[in-house]
A and B are shown apart, each in its own frame.
Chain A
Amino acid sequence: MTGAQMVVKTLEENGVTTIFGYPGAANCPIIDRLPGSAIKHILVRNEQGAAHMASGYARVTNKPGVCTATSGPGATNLITGIATAYMDSVPMIAITGQVVSNLLGRDAFQEVDITGATHPFTKHNYLIRNGLDLPKVIDEAFYIASTGRPGPVLIDIPMDILKKEYDYPERKKEPIVIRGYKPIGMGKAHEMQIKKVAEAVKASQKPVILAGGGVVLSNATKEFRHFVQMTGIPTVTTMTGVGVIEGKSDLNYGMIGSHGIKSANMTLNHSDLVIILGSRLGDRSVANAAGLEKRTKLIHIDIDPAEIGKNIFPDIPVVGDVKDVLSQLEPLLRDYKVSPEWKEYVDRIRSDWKVEEETQDNGFVNPRYFVKKLSEKAGSDAYVSTEVGQNQIWVANNYNFSDPRHFITSAGFGTMGYGLPSAIGASVASGSTVISVMGDGSFQMDLPEMGTMRQWDIPVKMVVLENHRLGMVHEHQFINYKSNYYAVSLEGSPDFCKLADAYGIPSMRISENSEIDKGIDALLDGKKSFLLVVEVDPFEPTGGALNSHYLPKEDK
């Protein structure tokens, strides 16, 4: 059996049915063994798309997504996708071909040290030196990628090893043991700490739960919602936590952070106890961690011990899997209920800062109103991916997610070009409706992947919020650079509807709020791709009507 055959066989044994990839000389031996296997290879248009698709696939299935590329530029094109997955703890296996072993380190054609390059943003990586290691390494890679705090693992395989014949090593069915990696047993938290948490909650007057992506990663959404309902503690989320509590829940006070909503940040800041569940508290969520430490008591629950004390110093640290911790806490807090005064207080903040959306016709579509409408019409089965920029914030703050795995976005790394390919991956994984909400800047990083959609009949619904600018940078230049608008105009962009037409994808353009219903109905009609271009005011603020009076009337 050749090395390449071993790769395919072991991937099959690990339940892989789809690989997103791009062939080249170095990974061709693997591609060559795929026909007739249980694995479908989806040819993308740029390797970066392959990594993002694997990422979208993984977010939906909760299993590692697999992508492959050739050596050198193929491998480096994967890098942005791998780093994106790393920052949001997405399980992924990236398999790269490498130049033949005896040319390693000699600057051979299409050679790059991809294990060296990706080390800072992979959970682990391997450069294969002996083909007989392949089955063991691939098993380990799946185990590492999907257990503990998930993340991407890269396997770099020299071409000669892929081609060489080996006797397939005898496979033991024993559980994988890696002496430097013990994710099992990290689950249950220390009972003493759990007791302290329960006591702190009971002693507090104004508790708040801050939920992050760790709740999603530990598959604890059900337990989490039960815990929130049981205790009645007001809940705010980070971006990766959007959806862990239902958008319309009475105890959902919204997303915090620099692009969160005002009332969510106020709720957090007025508390006397914050229970941080599965969040690393990145700077975009809590810009001033030291301030929060001073103001309020902090409980930090995370599966990764290295997160405790990294960005914030908690009063009570708890290392454990969110799901286990919640089940440990449940019996201790069964009789606890948050005080009605505190609930009334935060309810008042929420209603004080509630904004009525502009819905009159004025030549532009209100993007927040559009997203709210989209949320109503698409239903709870739909998945929504975003790009990065204003579109991401509008969706995060206005779409009513009933399941956090249905919101697919690059939160930690903030990768433009993530939205469409991740939606493609999500569509392949789920077979459900997947909507990709983009800006006209980010969409132009994705354009070629429309070919992938067509080739493999992947019916992603595309929305482009078009303002002919890089909207968020434009806003940034307005606020922080004295309106020195530079390098943000997207003049020269094509007519996206014509472009879609060239790919055989139907489309529509809307520019009034009264056209929203018509547009969304066309978008969601049938199991086929569609492009809806939505004309948005270039001066539409990310934060909504709250600060719109600061804005000039015209684009200068």
Chain B
Amino acid sequence: MESKYILSVLVEDNSGVLAKVVGLFSRRGFNIHSLAVGVTNIEGVSRITIEVIGDELTVEQISKQLNKLIDVIKIKVSRSDELVKRGLLLVKVKISSKNRTEVIQIANIFRANIVDVSQSTITAELTGGDTKLNAFLDMLAPYGIEETAMTGMIALERGTNVLKA
């Protein structure tokens, strides 16, 4: 049974680590749905958040293989719904003087920020889970989406649990 999993991976902040982690996925023909990398509050430790769709056994095998990498310090595999997760979307929409207000209203409903505006386009930013981001894009589609940029999801476990290096 396939479902969406999130792998939170703490790694040594060395050059080439991301390539090693990502390489493991491609070698096993396993698709990465989204990916986000950044530094953490711990010095020398980066956090890679990987969203994958797969069955439990495959995800477990991937996580074991990742654990074998010397630069990987810790891994936590979670079902997507056990976490608070957020991504950032930037979207540039085509507008005219007639429908500019409509688009701004939609953005307001989603609590998106308008970060740039021109005679013929509006650029909005929105953070949220992927359902929210996709719903926003669906609403904007009829106006004509010129360009989008989206980050991978980042995620933290709900409650008191902490992933320690």
Contact = CB atoms under 8 A, between A and B. Distances in A.
Interface of A: 115-116, 119-120, 123-124, 127, 129, 144, 178-181, 304-306, 309-310
Shortest Cβ-Cβ A-B pairs, 8 listed: A306-B64, A124-B70, A180-B73, A181-B70, A179-B73, A180-B72, A180-B70, A306-B65
Given A116-B19, A119-B19, A179-B165, A306 B69 contact: no
Given A144-B70, A179-B73, A306-B65, A115 B16 contact: yes
Contacts of B71: 124, 180
Given A127-B15, A180-B12, A180-B69, A305 B64 contact: yes
A284 B48 CA distance: 36
Contacts of A179: 12, 73, 165
Contacts of A309: 57, 60-61
Contacts of A129: 15
Nearest to B65: A306
B16 A127 contact: yes
Given A127-B16, A305-B64, 11 more contacts: A119-B16, A120-B23, A124-B70, A124-B71, A127-B15, A180-B69, A180-B73, A181-B70, A305-B67, A306-B64, A306-B65
A304 B68 contact: yes
B158 interface: no
Contacts of A181: 70
Contacts of B23: 119-120
A181 B72 CA distance: 8
B16 A306 contact: no
A178 B67 contact: no
B79 interface: no
Contacts of B98: none
B20 interface: yes
Contacts of B27: 120
B45 to A, nearest CB: 9
B68 A178 contact: no
A304 B67 CA distance: 10
10 contacts: A116-B19, A119-B16, A119-B19, A119-B20, A124-B70, A127-B16, A178-B70, A179-B165, A309-B60, A310-B61
A116 B19 CA distance: 8
B161 to A, nearest CB: 19
A144 B69 CA distance: 11
A124 B165 CA distance: 20
Nearest to B62: A306
Contacts of B60: 309
Interface of B: 11-12, 15-16, 19-20, 23, 27, 57, 60-61, 64-65, 67-74, 165
Nearest to A307: B64
Nearest to B66: A306
A306 B72 CA distance: 14
A501 to B, nearest CB: 47
B77 to A, nearest CB: 14
B73 A306 contact: no
A115 B17 CA distance: 11
A181 B165 CA distance: 12
Given A144-B70, A180-B69, A180-B71, A306 B61 contact: yes
Contacts of A178: 70
Nearest to B24: A120
Nearest to B12: A180
A115 B20 CA distance: 10
Contacts of A120: 23, 27
Nearest to B64: A306
A178 B71 CA distance: 9
Nearest to B44: A179
B70 A306 contact: no
A290 B27 CA distance: 23
Nearest to A308: B64
A487 B47 CA distance: 52
Contacts of A124: 69-71
Given A116-B16, A119-B20, A180-B12, A306 B67 contact: yes
B72 to A, nearest CB: 5
Contacts of A306: 61, 64-65, 67-68
A124 B23 CA distance: 14
Nearest to A180: B73
Nearest to B63: A306
A309 B59 CA distance: 12
